[in-house]
């Protein structure tokens, strides 16, 4: 058994763990990184990267099938599903070297390809190694949640960890779960030629503003996706190629393949957390504002910390704890400026408070301003004029933004910047955006906040009249 002493031990080589390891090593810390599975974690291998690559393939097929509006004849796309999935694998392969063991060893990180488990409050065992570290970072991420639905264990089903292994296109894909993953994969597969049914026990995209979610759902239904809402699953039955999902209200959905996309659970099972005195919650590891666990030497970041489950959150958490673990400086993580995006077509993006949440908190002080894509010249030119930007404003400062439409995920970044730095709407309105761009929407919605103050104000009109009479 090899005993190792180090400054920083990172458990998990997903996006958060890799960010911590790279940053700490390059700043001079002695770092050990543990990973018992694949370098790059869920995002690279099963999540963000492969899903967006498949969405890109689906968008190419959809473009061929819907080009008549540009004066180019529609054609039926000849989809080679296996080749589309090979495209996905190629994209993952191109990004993989950035997350590889060789790269991190080149940065000075000692990489041990074993799972880690606590054997004491300060020691972690990984295979034949026992590591004692000044600080430990748990970055083990999350895995697909598979609910205890009667019959599910006896039926072949997919999760995001197995979906991208397919090479034969599903004839009819059933998806349990109408959240972002379910809706993204539904649209991708219907565009690639599958029949698709989404089965959701509540409302599809139920964590998002209903007004924005309705735009996305209408788009998917228009492309042929069946979205069954209020369909709580009672049981699953059948065999490969002939699967049935029965809802509590008696509805029965039949298909060839089943994708389970009902959420994710924190990866804590292997860690032996009680040995380290680390407390957990229903959603993951309990952390304070600085991402410290109940063991003051141990931090938890990303999905396993039980908060927002996004790759960019894990990366943000990495920066927060590097300040604390390496420099001993106070550092806290916030959520108010963290954006989230559903990569459907149209995209749906949110940062800060939704309209409903802002009304509950701020009441009559809240102003909601909006600007429609239908008034953006670039959106009109590209036949992408469906959608709108909605910003929640209190005393001249944005407290949240919701966007549904083309490139919503790109637009939301400006509002994250505004919330992170306390910017005012006047500072957004002062921005000069090139014409014609989708980015003009952000400036125009800020302008919409000031329009009634300028153009509907009798005081402004009186002042302008007086100045005009005075000027030579």
Task: Name the binding residues for FAD.
Answer: 52, 116, 140-142, 303
Expressed in angstroms, the distance from the first to the final Cα of the chain is: 91
79 close to 169: Cβ distance less than 8 angstroms: yes
Contact 370, 391 (CB under 8 A): yes
Residue position matching structure tokens 């489950």: 309
Chain centroid to Cα 341, Å, comes to 5
Q: Taking the CA atoms of the chain, what radius of gyration do you get in angstroms?
A: 25
Element (H, E) at 188: helix 180-191
Q: Which residues are annotated as a binding site for NAD(+)?
A: 177-184, 200, 263
- Residue numbering of the annotated binding site: 52, 116, 140-142, 177-184, 200, 263, 303
Q: CA 316 → CA 178, 303, 358, distances in Å?
A: 27, 12, 24
Q: Is 455 exposed, middle or buried (0-12, 13-18, 19+ CB in 10 A)?
A: exposed
Closest CA to 55 of 160, 130, 154: 160
Structure tokens belonging to residue 232: 């709580």
Q: Which residue has the tokens 């970041």?
A: 301
Q: How far apart are CA 278 and CA 18, in angstroms?
A: 22
Edge to edge, the sheet with strand 226-228 lists: 226-228, 195-199, 172-176, 257-260
Burial class (CB in 10 A: 0-12, 13-18, 19+), 58: buried
CA distance 109 to 118: 20
Dihedral sign from CA coordinates of 50, 404, 424, 441: positive
How far is C-alpha 184 from the chain's CA centre? 11
What is the rounded distance in angstroms from the CA atom of residue 90 to the CA atom of residue 53? 9
Q: Where does 303-424 have alpha helices with state H?
A: 311-327, 355-362, 377-381, 408-421
Q: Which stretches does DSSP call E strand in 248-396? A: 252-255, 257-260, 264-266, 298-300, 340-342, 347-352, 366-372, 388-394
């Amino acid at each position: 058994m090899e005993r190792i002493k180090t400054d920083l031990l990172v458990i998990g080589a997903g996006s958060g763990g890799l960010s911590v390891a790279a940053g700490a090593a390059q700043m001079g810390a002695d770092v050990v990184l543990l990973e018992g599975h694949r370098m790059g974690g869920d995002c690279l291998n099963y999540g963000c990267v492969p899903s967006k690559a498949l969405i890109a393939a689906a968008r190419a097929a959809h473009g061929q099938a819907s080009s008549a509006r540009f004066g180019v004849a529609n054609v039926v796309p000849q989809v080679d599903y296996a080749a589309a999935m090979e495209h996905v694998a190629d994209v993952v392969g191109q990004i993989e070297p950035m997350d590889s063991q060789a790269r991190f060893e080149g940065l000075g990180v000692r990489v041990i390809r074993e799972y880690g488990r606590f054997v004491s409050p300060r020691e972690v065992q990984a295979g034949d190694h026992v590591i004692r570290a000044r600080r430990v970072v748990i970055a083990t991420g999350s895995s697909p949640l598979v609910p205890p639905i009667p019959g599910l264990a006896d039926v072949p089903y997919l999760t995001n960890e197995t979906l991208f292994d397919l090479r034969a296109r599903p004839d009819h894909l059933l998806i349990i779960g109408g959240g972002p993953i379910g809706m993204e994969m539904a649209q991708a597969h219907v565009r690639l030629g599958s029949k698709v049914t989404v089965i959701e026990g509540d409302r599809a995209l139920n964590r998002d503003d209903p007004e924005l979610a309705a735009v996305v759902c209408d788009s998917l239904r228009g492309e042929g996706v069946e979205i069954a809402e209020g369909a709580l699953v009672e049981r699953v039955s059948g065999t490969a190629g002939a699967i049935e999902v029965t809802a509590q209200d008696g509805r029965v959905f039949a298909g060839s393949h089943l994708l389970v996309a009902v959420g994710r659970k924190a990866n804590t099972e292997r860690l032996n957390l009680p040995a380290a005195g680390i407390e957990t919650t229903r959603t993951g590891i309990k952390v304070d504002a600085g991402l410290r666990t109940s063991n003051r030497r141990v931090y938890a970041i990303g999905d396993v910390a039980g908060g927002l489950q996004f790759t960019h959150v894990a990366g943000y958490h990495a920066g927060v704890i590097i300040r604390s673990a390496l420099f001993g400086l106070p550092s806290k993580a916030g959520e108010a400026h963290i954006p989230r995006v559903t990569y459907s077509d149209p995209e749906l993006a949110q940062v800060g408070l939704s309209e409903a949440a802002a009304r509950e908190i701020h009441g009559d002080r809240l102003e909601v301003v909006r600007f429609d894509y239908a008034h953006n010249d670039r959106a009109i030119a590209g036949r992408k004029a469906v959608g709108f930007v909605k910003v929640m404003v209190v005393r001249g400062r944005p407290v949240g933004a919701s966007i549904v439409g083309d490139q919503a995920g790109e637009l939301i970044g400006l509002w994250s910047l505004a919330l992170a730095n306390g910017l005012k709407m006047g500072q957004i309105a002062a921005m000069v955006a090139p014409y014609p761009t989708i980015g003009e929407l952000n400036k125009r919605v800020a302008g919409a906040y000031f329009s009634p103050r300028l153009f509907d104000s009798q005081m402004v009109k009186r002042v302008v009249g007086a100045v005009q009479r005075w000027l030579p």
